[in-house]
Every structure is written in structure tokens, then in C-alpha cells.
Structure 1
Amino acid sequence: MKTPSSPKKITWIIGMIAGFLGIIGHYVDVQILSEHNYILLLVGFLVLAAGTTFRDL
């Protein structure tokens, strides 16, 4: 099993923004964010997971 690597800065920023928007959409009634809050959280998690799994992402 390969050791995880740190994601590039842009990958980390995109994952954090998606996750943060998902959390905001869950607790605050913002129409577009509230409709897709779980998808945004999933995308944020997957981006961060892919960033640590693949070295050049």
C-alpha cells in the first residue's frame, strides 16, 4: 500500500470550498446550497481523498 501524499494547494482549496458550502447549505436556508448540500460534501471529500491518493493531483 502506498503512503498518502499531501494534495496540491488548488486541490485542497477546491475540496475545502465544496465541503464548506455543503455545511453552510445544511445549516442555513440557501436554496441552491440546501438542495445539494450532501452532494457538495461528497464532492469535497472525494476531491481531498483523491488528492492524497494520487501524487500529481
Structure 2
Amino acid sequence: MNHLQERLKKIFSDKKADILNNGNKHKTIPEGKLETYLNKRWKLVQRCPSGDEAVIKLPS
């Protein structure tokens, strides 16, 4: 039973980011929240020209 629990835990942790973002790979966020997402291992794709938003993608 313990082996099954460990396997399920791995499967769910691998898919957690996908679930939290409704299956989307990219997200636009306010520039002020960028550091928070980067600390959670999201990747910066680009900063918007206006300077007030950024596009990030799920950690791979």
C-alpha cells in the first residue's frame, strides 16, 4: 500500500501546476507579483512593453 501512495503522490505533484492553472501553460500577471511566481519556479517569458504586466509559463 505504501508503494501505491508514493506513486500517487508523485503523479499528483507532477500535475499540480497544470491543475492550478486550468491546463494553461502561460499566464499574464501584474509585474508586482512576478517575484512571487519566480520563487515558485514559474519561468519568465516576457515583460509587457507597458511595464505593468509579465507573461510567465509553468515550470517544466
* TM-score, structure 1 as length reference: 0.33
TM-score (norm 2): 0.32
Higher relative contact order (CA 8 A, sep 6+): 1
Q: Which protein is richer in strand relative to its size? A: 2
Q: Which has the larger radius of gyration?
A: 2
Higher helix share: 1
